[in-house]
Structure 1
Amino acid sequence: MVRLQTLRGYLLEEVLAWLLRSSGYRLLTEKDDPVRSPWRVLEKRKHGLVVRGRGAWHQADTLGQFQYVPPFSLPIRLFAEAKFTRLKVGLATVRNGHGVVHDLNENVVTTLGNGSGPHRPRVRYHYSYAIFSTSGFTQDAQEYALAHQISLIDLSLPDFQPLCDLVRIAAKSVYDAMKSMVPSQRPTVYEIRNYLRRHLLDLSGEPAADASSVTDPLDTLAAGLHRRSSLGLILAFPAAPFVLGLISDNLNAFVRYALEEPTHAVRVRRIHRSVGHPLWLIEPRVGPAYRLAFSLPEQVEAWILDQEEGTRSRTHWMTRNLLSAITMYWVDENHTHTFQLQYSSSEFREVSGRPRPSFSDFGETSDLF
């Protein structure tokens, strides 16, 4: 039987896939690879989707493809792995992510053919890896990720707490229900994930096991997410070897503003907190207010701030070079919008002290100061 913390991580991955769908992240299935064997790179097996690398097939529970293809680049596919644990994510998890994407990106066969018949070009992809953690990351995990461009997204911010609570409650209810069932009647992890996935992402698939004690908590989780859809998680791309996971207390306000002003100037604030590492806030310089927040793993921020001497000048280096232009993609009715947030480091503000509570509930907008 699956462990509780593993189940929490699986459900969190499905929730993240749902939240990121509007950022251009489209969850893949084996149906997205119409090529026949032996040249297929996506297959469905007993435990779910697998993807073919140069040396092995790799489990791909949450593999998405961005609908926007950057100029002079390959289509981008992203592995999203979520860890819902009390302990910080360690080096082994990050090293495994690097091994997977390295093997996949080394699979460089460019033509399809059987040796005797005609050949045709084979579509290639660039694979990336992002790890989401509710408890942060160890120092060696952060250093390894930074060296190998594995993106780490910290979900330990208080702003993510309501989302994490929804997942925690659902996972505990499902786990308790499964414990009371005869082992032969317990649904598999694949069936549980697929049931929730169909509710959130409208994907077809095999029916889950007919067990209301298991499916009812999943229904509640899906309904809770739909009710609180004003909270958004957005992937953002600075000029750096990582992505940012931005959270908003009012996603609709940000989207409305960005659709009117796809490129606009923003202010950036860095807030020192009494508990946890600093919080970064992004707001528009003019016009209706929205707020986006993110937090960087400690070693990533230390690496960035080490580029110059002096704490304040290092922070200015980060905002001047890495945050000066942040690109974001938004998918609305199959149309991809590109937003760019432009920042002038002369407007940087660093705030000491503890800010008032923020993003206290999915359905409410509260001031961060």
Structure 2
Amino acid sequence: MISERALRGYLLEEVLAWLLRSSGYEVLTAQDDGERPPWKTLEVRNHGLVVRGRGAWHQADTLGQFRYVPPFSLPVRLFVEAKFTRTRVRLATVRNGHGVVHDVNENVMTTVTSHSGPRRPRTRYRYSYAIFSTSGFSQDAQEFALAHQISLVDLSMPDFARLRTLVRAAAKDIHMAMQALPAASRPTVHALRTYLRGPLLDLWGPPEVTDPSVTAPLDVLAESLRSRSTLGLILAFPAAPFVLGLASDDLYGFVSYARLHPTHSVRLRRLRQAGPHPVWEIRSQDDPAAYALTFGLPEQVEAWILDQETSTSARTRWVKESMLSAMTLYWMDGDHAHTFQLRYAAAEIIEQRADDSAPWHLSDLPEPPIG
């Protein structure tokens, strides 16, 4: 029987799939339509979806595909892995993610010869990998992820407390209900996930989970998410080798403002507060009261950014002109995708002092001498 800890992770992945849909990602659940071996890249097996790599097929519990193809690029797909644990995610998890995404991206055969037909092109994709953790990441995991462009999204910050509480409560109730059932009647993890995708992703299928003691907690979780007024998560894409998971207590307030100002300047403040690491806050430069978005960075990523900012003059200019120049966000409104761009300069990065007095600007730091 599945443990409660593992169940929390699986449920969190389904919740993230629902939340990420608003960022333009469509969850893939079926094999390639009309494709046959050896052209297919997706296949449904007993335990769910698998993706074809160069050397093996890989389990894809949550796989999203961006609805629009970037110019001069391949269609983008994103593996999502969630860890709901008490300890930090370690190197082995990140290394496994890198191995998976490297193998599927190496599946570069563009045409395949069939004995029953002519050569034909195989559809190719660009895969990325994102790991979400409720307890942060170890130092070596962060360093490895940064080097190999595996995105780490930290869900331990206070803004995600309600999300963690919803998932934890659902997992506890489902686990207790399953313990009371005979072993032969306990639903599989795949069946639980499929049931939850009905109300969350409108992906209805034959009901494999029918016992009310198990379906009731799943229904409560789905209804709590659909009716939420404050729970929010949206992906942001800076000019850096990672994505940011932005949280807001009024996500629709941000969306309403951004629709009127698709491209606008923002201020970025590094808050000092109790917790394992600092929290960063984004507000509109022209109307700071319009919205607030917050995010946390793994310590090594944050140290990398700040170190880049205070090193040589050339590196400082590079940070200002590239990595810290803008971040792009996508928001789905039905079948229409809105694109927002938040522009900021390094001079607008400020850190709030512990005594809440006037903040200081990183740009006020003296430039170190070259050589």
Q: Is TM (by shorter chain) over 0.5? A: yes
CA distance in 1, matches of 2:208, 2:178: 14
Q: Specify the SS of the correspondent of 1:39.
A: coil
The one-letter code of the counterpart of 1:27 is V
Unaligned stretches of 5+ in structure 1?
A: 356-369
Distance 1:225 1:319, change over 3 A: farther
* One-letter amino acid of the counterpart of residue 49, structure 2: L
Match of 2:333 in 1: 332
Change (3 A) 1:130 1:33: farther
Q: 1:79 to 1:124 in 2, by over 3 A?
A: same
Could you say what secondary structure the match of 2:129 adopts?
A: strand
Give matches, 1:1-369, under 5 Å: 1-115=1-115, 117-287=117-287, 289-309=290-310, 321-353=322-354
**Matching residue's letter, 2:275:** V
Task: Give distance in 2, aligned partners of 1:63 and 1:113.
Answer: 28
Q: How big is the shift at 1:38?
A: 2.9
- Residue 286 of structure 2: SS of its match in structure 1? coil
Q: Distance in 2 between matches of 1:110 and 1:250?
A: 45
CA distance in 1, matches of 2:17, 2:320: 29
C-alpha separation in 1, matches of 2:100 and 2:191: 24
Q: Which amino acid aligns with 1:184?
A: A
Aligned to 1:359: none
Letter in 2 for 1:271: L
Alpha-carbon offset, residue 120 of structure 1: 2.3
The question of whether the paired residues in 2 share the 8 Å contact of 1:305 and 1:317 is answered with no
Displacement after TM superposition at 1:220 (Å): 0.5
Moved more, 301-310 or 16-25: 301-310
Q: Is residue 247–residue 295 contact of structure 2 (8 Å, CA) maintained in 1?
A: yes
In 2 relative to 1, CA 31–43 (structure 1 residues): closer, same or farther, beyond 3 Å? closer
| 201 and 354 in structure 1: CA distance in 2 versus 1, 3 angstrom threshold | farther
Within 2, Cα distance between the matches of 1:354 and 1:181? 55
* Segment of structure 1 superposing worse, 83-92 or 248-257: 248-257
Q: Deviations over 1:61-102 (max 9, x none)?
A: 100001122111111100000000000000110000000000
Could you tell me how far apart the structure 1 residues matched to 2:332 and 2:83 are?
26
- Give the percent of matched residue pairs that are identical in Structure 1 and Structure 2: 65
CA distance in 2, matches of 1:291, 1:36: 48
Q: In the alignment, is the contact (CA less than 8 A) between 1:304 and 1:314 conserved in 2? A: no
Alignment partner, residue 361 of structure 2: none
**Which whole-Å CA distance do the structure 2 matches of 1:209 and 1:22 have between them?**
27
CA 32–292 in structure 1, closer or farther in 2 if over 3 Å, else same: farther
Matched position secondary structure for 2:208: coil
- Cα pair 1:94 1:141 within 8 Å, conserved: yes
In the TM superposition, residue 307 of structure 1 has moved relative to its aligned partner by 1.9
Shift >4 Å, 4+ stretches: 313-320
Q: 1:30 to 1:354 in 2, by over 3 A?
A: farther
Q: CA-to-partner distance for each residue in 1:254-302, whole Å, 9 max, x for gaps?
A: 1111111111111111112232211111111124611111110001111
Deviation at 1:345, TM superposition (A): 2.4
2:297 and 2:321 mapped to 1: Cα distance? Answer: 17
Q: Which residue of structure 1 aligns with residue 360 of structure 2?
A: none
Matched AA of 1:217: P
- CA contact 1:33–1:42 (8 Å) conserved in 2: no
Deviation at 1:314, TM superposition (A): 9.3
Task: State the alpha-carbon separation in 1 of the partners of residues 138 and 52 from structure 2.
Answer: 30
Q: Which whole-Å CA distance do the structure 2 matches of 1:247 and 1:202 have between them?
A: 24
The two structures have a TM-score, normalised by structure 2, of 0.91
Letter paired with 2:334: E
Map Cα deviations across residues 117-141 of structure 1 (whole Å, 9 max, x no partner). 2222221100000000000000111
Q: Which runs of 5+ in 2 are unaligned?
A: 357-371
What is the CA distance between 1:209 and its match in structure 2?
2.2
SS of 2:71 mapped into structure 1: coil
Amino acid at match of 1:103: D
CA pair 314-206 structure 1, distance change in 2 beyond 3 A = farther
Cross-structure match for 1:363:
none
CA-to-partner distance for each residue in 1:36-70, whole Å, 9 max, x for gaps? 22321111111111111111010001000011221
- 1:74 aligned partner, one-letter code: L
